[in-house]
Structure 1
Amino acid sequence: MLKNHYYENLVEAGCDEAGRGCLAGSVYAAAVILPADYENPALNDSKQLSRKRRYELREQIQQDAIAWAVGVVTAGEIDKINILQASLLAMHRALDQLEVRPEAIIVDGNRFRPYQELPYATIVKGDGKFQSIAAASILAKTYRDDYMDRLDVEYPMYDWKSNKGYPTRKHREGIRRFGVSPYHRKSYNLLGGELSLDFRD
């Protein structure tokens, strides 16, 4: 059973992101505030759950949460500010949208940028330790998957419906054959290994 909270007697938002390691698409982050006495034994790191279970839990989280929101940073923004800063910005954008203001923040991982002078804690593997971070990981993952599925309709040659933008062999083969899309992160090594692409026009 994951822990309910990190800070005692504070309204706490859990944050997590999805899509940092992808070659294409926006990075998504979610922020979730759960009730103080909330207990859901099904919550876990989204990577440990089946796709079907993630979507079932998304509905439950959205119904049960005091507040939740999703923030997005585009591939173009990622290229300008780098993926770490983009991930932190996506979390801030999610926090900005919460209809209930948090009094503290807990974040999956070991990096965060202070938000409105609120106390915060970074927790390595936090999505497997705290319910609100697990809930945020599920929302970020499922909303990003939905987004990549929509892009796949427009650009089926990259197999995004299956790989969600991650660097699979089929994805990289699509880049070799068809070039890059407007959604690719041009600051990344898109072909892997020693190969690179020249984006100068």
Structure 2
Amino acid sequence: MADRPSVAAVTAALRGASHTELPALIASCADDPRAGVVKARAAARRRYDREAAERRRVLAMYERARELGGGGLVVGVDEVGRGPLAGPLTVCATALDLEDPIWGIDDSKRLSPTRRESLAEEVRSRAVAVGLACVDARSIDRLGMAEALRRAMRTAVARTGLWDDASAVVIDGLPVHVHPREACLPKADAAVAPVAAASIVAKVFRDGVMETLDARFPGYGFAANKGYGSAEHIAAIGRLGLSPIHRVSFCGHFVTPAAERVDASTR
């Protein structure tokens, strides 16, 4: 008994162990009756169970992608920025190695900003391919949102370089008719791994764009509201008029139809 590791050492080992290391470590101290070890062991079991459930969730997303692609390459597509009053529509398309899971991927809306940024970097480094496309505010006004979305999705898929090789192009939402092997699935960003990855990269990329635009067009709070119609943003439109990145066709409730965009250099 004298050579038994201290409670502090056992606790530290359990806390620092990876998911795959935990079962053996828990088993190694299973007969240790010391209260501190019992407590640390129980906490480790709870952590293992949580992580196991999370891994099952992610693996199910990869399995759904395999089903939709019939074992071939799957390109997942998602958009961000369909509803804001300002800024671009952004679409991302990704293809992942379906045998090498990226743990933690999920619908971008379920993730904290810090976690999204970390996962976006991991997706970009590990994905088979990533394609991004943006449509600016003036083009959205000219084309309408439906056509802007079709064009952006088509471009994003083409930029993966996998247009002809994809067994399935899985799009979050209703049919858009951008690819001959298109498969549309509502809530795919929470159910299909490549679509979740696309949602994360698109969100992080567009948020970065809006933070840059906030510096160019101050006063609207773009870094915080990302172009969406918050009360503060609408009040700023009333004070400042529309900036060059506002979607005039989205702002009819807040300004007169004849209102002109404001050149930031004149303010």
1:77 alignment partner in structure 2: 139
User: Which stretch shows the higher mean deviation, 93-102 or 144-153?
Assistant: 93-102
The answer to whether structure 1 residue 199 and structure 2 residue 199 are counterparts is: no
2:172 aligned residue? 108
Q: Distance in 2 between matches of 1:44 and 1:153?
A: 30
Moved over 4 A (4+): none
What residue identity is the alignment partner of 1:178? Answer: L
- The answer to whether the 8 A contact 1:66-1:100 is kept is no
Of 74-83 and 131-140, the range deviating more from structure 2: 74-83
Contact 1:45–1:134 at 8 Å: present in 2 too? yes
Deviates more, 1:60-69 or 1:37-46: 37-46
1:123 corresponds to: 185
Q: Name the structure 2 match of 1:149.
A: 211
Q: Is the 8 A contact 1:149 1:161 kept in 2?
A: yes
Structure 1: unaligned runs, 5 residues or longer = none
Give the structure 2 partner of residue 136 of structure 1. 198
Letter in 2 for 1:197: T
* Deviation of 1:134 (Å): 0.4
Q: TM-score if structure 1 supplies the norm length?
A: 0.92
Q: Provide Cα deviations, 1:153-186, integer angstroms capped at 9, x if missing partner.
A: 0112100010000000111111000000110001
Q: Write the mapping of 1:19-30 to structure 2, written as runs, cut at 5 A.
A: 19-30=81-92
Q: How many residues align?
A: 196
| Deviation for aligned residue 1:22 | 0.4
Q: Distance in 1 between matches of 2:221 and 2:259?
A: 26
What is the root-mean-square deviation in Å for CA atoms of aligned residues?
1.5
Question: Normalising by structure 2, what TM-score?
Answer: 0.70
Q: Which has the higher contact order (CA 8 A, sep 6+)?
A: 1
Structure 2: unaligned runs, 5 residues or longer: 1-56, 261-267
SS in 1 for 2:249: coil
The letter for the 2-side match of 1:168 is S
Secondary structure of the corresponding residue to residue 210 of structure 2: helix
Alignment match of 1:39 (pick from 85, 94, 101): 101
Maintained 8 Å contact 1:27/1:73: yes
C-alpha contact 1:26 1:73 (8 A) present in aligned 2: yes
SS of aligned partner of 2:75: strand
In the alignment, the residues of structure 2 paired with residue 130 and residue 22 of structure 1 have an alpha-carbon distance, to the nearest angstrom, of 25
Could you say which structure has the larger radius of gyration? 2
Q: CA deviation at 1:200?
A: 6.0
Q: Distance in 2 between matches of 1:168 and 1:64?
A: 36
- State the AA in 2 paired with 1:49: L
Aligned-partner Cα distance in 2 for 1:183–1:158: 11
